[in-house]
Structure 1
C-alpha cells in the first residue's frame, strides 16, 4: 500500500469553510472597513488551514472504498480471527489476530503492526505474510481510529491512544508470551511506535521496537514537502506534530531502524537522526540501498536482517527485559499528549 505525502484537501467541509470565509469577509468589509476585514479574514483562514491539516496527513479513503473493503488474512492463507479493541475514549478498533500453530504461539514473539497513513491494514497483508513465515511471529494488525472498519476520527492523540489500547489488549490474552511483544511501525506507524516506546510504563511492556522509513517530525516533513521557509512557522500552528526526534531519546528498549535509501518521501537522513538520538543501549540501523518508501520489505535480506536482530535479543537479553506489571496511564496521558 502506497503511503501518501502532502495532498490537496478533498473534503467538502474545507470548501464550505473557504466560501464562508469569503462571505464573512464581505460582510465585515461592508460594515467595518478594510482593516477589520483583513484581520477577520486572516484569522478565519488560519483556522481553516489548522483544521485542514488532518486532511493533508491522514488518508483512510485512499484508494477508493478503503473504509469498506478490507482484505482479510485468509486471502493469503494466514490463520486469523477478527477482534474488536475498545479504547479508553470509547473508540472501537478493528484488528486481525494472526497466530502461529497452537503448540508454538505461546513461545514465539508477538508483533503489533502499525501501518502508514493511507488505506487500511489489509493492504499490508503481503508484508505480514512475510513476517509470519520468515520471522515466525504471531501478529496483531491494528486499524487506527477512522481507518477501515474502526470508529472515530484520526488525530495524533487518538492514534497514540490506539497503540496503548492494542498493547493492553494483548495483556488480556493468554495464548502468547507477554515478555516477547514487538512494536512495528512503518512511516506514520513508526511515529506511533516511538511514542509508545518512549512512555515510561508502556515502554517496559515490550521486548523491542522496529520502525521503518519513518520521519523525525511533521514540522520537519513540511519543510521537505512544501518549502524551506515553512521552518519559520511556529510549532503552535501544527495540529499534528509527531515529534519523534524529541521522544526517541527517552526510549530505552532495544530499537531497530530500517531505512530504504531509495525512499523519495521520507529522507533517509531522518532515520539516521532518529538512530543517533535513540536512548537505547541496544540499537541497530539497517540501510537497504534498493528500498523505497513503500517496498523496502521486498529487498533481499530484509527478513533475514530482522531475524538476526531478534535472535540477538533472545540470546543476549537486555537487563530492561522483564515482565512488567499490568498498569494503566490514561489519566497521565490526558496531561502528556495535547493537541494544540
Structure 2
C-alpha cells in the first residue's frame, strides 16, 4: 500500500527543476558553498541526513535581532536556487531567521521526491534547528507554500508548543487539487484536511481569490478547520505564484509575527523528533506548483 501511495504521488505531484538551478561544493576547510551567495549575506549551509537515507540541503538565514525562526517549505517546480532573494526579503522585513531547505530530489538534495521523503526531510531540518541552532518549539513558525503545506502540517500536527503556522496557497490534499472529492481515499497524498485538526497553535492562511491551480476553497476550508484561527489574508485577484508581489502580503505577515510575540505557551514540549516520530522579479518567476493529470 505504501509503495502504491508513493507511485501515485510521483505521478502527479512532484516536478523538481531539471536540471537543478544550483549546485553546492565544499571548500578546502570543509565549508559548504552555495555559488552566488556572498559571505556577508549571513547564511549558513547545511547538508543533513534524513531518515530516508538522503542528503538534504538546508540554508539558515540569520537575523541578528530575530525573536522567531521561520521554517520555510517551498512549493513545487522550484528549488532554493530560485528562491534565495525571497528569503532575504522575508528575513529583512519580518526580522526573523529563515531556515529553508530542498526536498529529496530537488536542487542539490539527493534521492527521489515522494510524500514520505518530504516528511523525513522536514524532520531532519527541524532536528538540525534544535541541535545546531538551539531553536525551541515556542520560537518556531512553520511556513508551507502550496505542496510545502504537506510537510508543514505533518510536522505541526506533532509539535505541541509550536509558536505558529503559515499556510500559503495550501492544498486540502493532492487528489482534491484535481477532483472535488468529499472523501479522503487511502491513496491520496498530503492529507492536510485531516492533519489540520491536530494543530494546536495559531494558523494564518494566505490564499489568492483567483488561484488558478489550487482553488481558493482549499484555503478557506483549512482556515475553517483550524483550532486556533488567525485573521486570514484573502488576496483579491491573487493567483497561485504571485502573492508575494502584493503589498498586503508582507504587511499581514508582519502583523502575524507581532501577534505571535503575545502568545503564551505553557504545554511541555519534546526536545527532538526521533526516528519513531514519524518582492522582486525573482519572486514573480517562481514556479511554485504544477500538477499533471
* TM, length-normalised to structure 1: 0.71
Higher RCO structure (Cα 8 Å, ≥6 apart): 2
Change (3 A) 1:247 1:77: same
* Residue pair 1:146, 1:152 contacting (<8 A) in 2 also: yes
Matched residue, 1:297: 244
Residues 304-315 of structure 1 aligned to structure 2 (within 5 Å): 304-315=251-262
Change (3 A) 1:313 1:68: closer
Partner of residue 277 from structure 1, selected from 225, 230, 236: 225
Change (3 A) 1:233 1:49: farther
Q: Is 1:85 matched up with 2:48?
A: yes
| Aligned alpha-carbon RMSD (Å) | 2.8
Matched residue, 2:153: 194
Considering fraction of residues, name the structure with more helix: 1
* Residue pair 2:22, 2:81 contacting (<8 A) in 1 also: no
* Residue pair 2:9, 2:115 contacting (<8 A) in 1 also: no
Q: Is 1:324 matched up with 2:269?
A: yes
> 1:166: Cα distance to partner?
1.1
* Residue pair 1:130, 1:303 contacting (<8 A) in 2 also: no
Change (3 A) 1:233 1:215: closer
Matched residue, 1:208: 164
* TM, length-normalised to structure 2: 0.81
Q: Aligned to 2:72, what secondary structure does the other structure show?
A: strand
* Residue pair 2:140, 2:164 contacting (<8 A) in 1 also: yes
> 1:113: Cα distance to partner?
0.9
* In structure 2, C-alpha distance between the alignment counterparts of 1:114 and 1:273, rounded to whole Å: 20
Please say which structure displays the higher CA radius of gyration. 1
Matched residue, 1:99: 62
Q: Is 1:60 matched up with 2:16?
A: yes
Change (3 A) 1:49 1:288: closer
Moved more, 266-275 or 305-314: 305-314
* Residue pair 1:110, 1:177 contacting (<8 A) in 2 also: no
* Residue pair 2:61, 2:88 contacting (<8 A) in 1 also: no
Residues 1-340 of structure 1 aligned to structure 2 (within 5 Å): 51=7, 53-61=9-17, 64-66=18-20, 68-69=22-23, 74=37, 78-101=41-64, 104-105=65-66, 108-174=67-133, 176=135, 179-199=138-158, 203-204=159-160, 206-223=162-179, 231=181, 235-236=185-186, 238=187, 240-280=188-228, 282-315=229-262, 317-320=263-266, 324-333=269-278
* In structure 1, C-alpha distance between the alignment counterparts of 2:166 and 2:182, rounded to whole Å: 32
The runs of 5 or more residues in structure 1 that have no matched partner are 1-46, 225-230, 334-340
